[in-house]
Amino acid sequence: MALTTRRTLVIGALLLPMQAIASPWIGTESAQLRHSVEVLVNYNVIKRPVNTYPLMWKGIISDLHAVPVHTLEPQAQFAYYHLQHALKFAKQDSSSKVRAFANSKPETWQGFGPRNRAKSGIETSGQITGKTVSAKVSVNYRDDALDGKYVDYDGSYLAALLGNWSLSAEKITHWWGPSQENPLVLSNNAQAMKAVRLTRHDSGYEGPSWLSFIGPWSFTALGAKQQNQINKIADVKVEDGDFWGWRFSSTPIQGLEVGLSQTHSDWLHFPVDTITVAVADEQKLSAIDFKYSSTLGSWPVAIYAEYAGHVESALVAEDGAFTLGVQSHYGTSESLLTSYLEYTDTQSQCINQAPDYNCNYGNIEVAQGYQHREQNLGPTIGSNSEAVTWGTYYHRVGGYAGHIKLGHIKNNDTDLDITRLELGYQQGVFGMLVQLTGHIWQEETTSSSDTHTALSLALEHRF
């Protein structure tokens, strides 16, 4: 099972096209990198919370250094070297990226990975990483973006270490919870909000001995500005809403991660009877989630669940939405395949009760719900919907990767059923990462049925 030093170096070199841009954390852009983290949790290599993204590197580094790699199963060896290679680039003093993409139709469903919610665009960024301060400046142009913005600065941040805490002013996306497709509180579905974030840097246990049973723990607090696409209504300026959130997660026993999240949102909407004044209502969401990762023999498997909903007081959600999922991995020392099956239900019984909005995410009667620039902050399917998705990702040395997603979505507000298939492939070509994705979906109501197709192409160069 042991790899020779030469073989180790060869694998590291072949992983070059899968590198991660220098950063103090792992972001929401790479599903493959996330899956490598998750398979190492299955094998008890990583022994800390990993279901809050951005995910800090500090604790991951400690766990990787503590394991003798030659004792690992082949797929865990692949994941180990994948992360080690990404870490090498995360430690770079500086780096830059240019990414161009074109979609025949903007993507309607957003899972974990890069956002392509525009007809076309070009993204540029430059980054510096120091021992205590890191900064990244991103300038992006997008044509026919679903969020209505042509130029944005998504991906930019300034972060500083304060003891065991990271404080950042940022405009980046987040992903809270174990879901692969539809996290119920925060996802990368919407454009990034302007925010200030405080995150625990190293999630190793610190605290009184009588609380040590909680194990390694992480905490993130977020304060952001929530926007509507409309700046003025009848000469009245629409102010930004305040968005506050926090998430705590811990690993009390081997392989088990539990999390608790809560957000307060001043979501903006306009009264149905008059469109003269913007109204801000406070929306409170609370969620609890868990993921248990282990092995059956040498086969890594995991189960996860999340429950979230509106809260009036305390932390217990009322009439909540939920997600259930199962995940597995299979691979060799040169490849990894990850599969999952996930079901999400955001239906609510209080949609017609006072106050006049869905008590989880808002509804179609108002112009703005639990959203930022009219894109859902939580699950991509929105409110009062059901979705089931089977997904499989494959990646191997040399930067070759592919994925397939097959899913069904039912929206109970519009009586719309959507069946969708997504196929993706990537590889390195002349120093660039080329990603090609095809989509086909059928939209069906009681009176009509339409089939749609779309093709997406992205070219990325890092230097």
Q: 85 with 132, same domain? A: no
Collapsed DSSP state (helix, strand, coil) of residue 57: helix
- Residue 54 and residue 127 in one domain: no
pLDDT at 9: 35
Average pLDDT over residues 243-260: 95
Query: What is the structure's pLDDT at 369?
Result: 64
- Based on the domain organization, do 272 and 371 belong to the same domain? yes
Mean pLDDT, to the nearest integer, of 394-405? 92
Last residue of a domain, one of 46, 68, 90: 90
Instruction: Classify residue 187: in a domain, yes or no.
Output: yes
Contact between 204 and 212 under an 8 Å Cβ cutoff? The reply is no
Would residue 362 count as lying in a domain? yes
**Angle CA 328–330–332, to nearest 5:** 155
**Cα separation of 98 and 364, whole Å?**
37
Residues 300 and 253 in one domain: yes
| CB atoms inside a 10 Å sphere around CB 172 | 24
The label of the residue with tokens 């990975």 reads: 113
Mean pLDDT confidence for 96-119: 85
Please check the confidence at residue 438 and state whether its pLDDT lies above 60: yes
CA atoms of 5 and 430, how far apart (whole Å): 27
**Residue 63: enclosing H or E segment and its boundaries?**
helix 57-65
Q: For residue 223, list its beta bridge partners.
A: 196, 244
- CA end-to-end span of the chain: 34
Is the same domain home to 175 and 267? yes
Residues 208 and 295 in one domain: yes
DSSP structural state of residue 3: P
The confidence band for 236, taking pLDDT boundaries of 50, 70 and 90, is low
Flag whether 190 is in a domain.
yes
Longest Cα separation, the chain: 73
* Residue 403 in this model has a pLDDT that exceeds 90: yes
Same domain, 77 and 199: no
Element (H, E) at 323: strand 318-332
Q: How many helices (H) and strands (E) does the chain have?
A: 4, 27
% of the chain at pLDDT higher than 90: 52
Mean pLDDT of 369-391: 87
Query: Are 135 and 22 contained in the same domain?
Result: no
DSSP H helical segments within 325-432, as ranges?
A: none
Same domain, 81 and 146: no
> Please, which pLDDT band fits residue 362 given cuts at 50, 70 and 90?
low
Domain-ending residue, one of 71, 90, 109: 90
190-217 pLDDT tens trace:
889 999 999 999 998 888 999 999 999 9
Domain-located, residue 104:
no
Q: Which residues of 211-220 are buried (b: 16+ CB within 10 A; e: fewer)?
A: eeeebbbbbb
Residue predicted with more confidence, 456 or 347: 456
What confidence tens digit (pLDDT) does each residue in 323-340 have? 999 999 999 989 999 999
Residues 185 and 314 in one domain: yes
Say if residue 211 is in the same domain as residue 297: yes
| The predicted structure's pLDDT at residue 5 | 35
**For residue 4, what is the DSSP state?**
P
- What CATH number is given to the structural domain containing 376? 2.40.160.130
Q: Are 343 and 387 in contact (CB under 8 A)?
A: yes
pLDDT at 6 over 50: no
pLDDT band (50, 70, 90) for residue 313? low
> Is 116 domain-assigned?
no
Q: What is the pLDDT, as a whole number, of residue 352?
A: 46
- State both tokens at 122: 């070009």
| Residue 347 maps to a domain | yes
Q: Write down the mean pLDDT value for the chain.
A: 84
Give the Cα separation of 101 and 317 in Å (integer): 40
| Rounded CA separation 154/165 (Å) | 23
Do the beta carbons of residue 387 and residue 397 sit within 8 Å? Answer: no
Asked if residue 276 and residue 204 are part of one domain, the reply reads yes
Domain that holds residue 266: 122-328+340-391+405-422+439-453
The pTM assigned to this predicted structure is 0.88
Looking at the DSSP assignment, which residues form a beta bridge with residue 433? 428, 460
Q: How many domains does the chain have?
A: 2
pLDDT of res. 7:
43
* In-domain check, residue 81: yes
Q: Is residue 292 part of a domain?
A: yes
CA-angle at 284, arms to 283 and 285, nearest 5°? 120
Of 193-197, 348-352, 404-408, 411-415, the least confident: 348-352
Average pLDDT value for residue range 117-127: 89
Q: Which residue has the tokens 């913007």?
A: 278
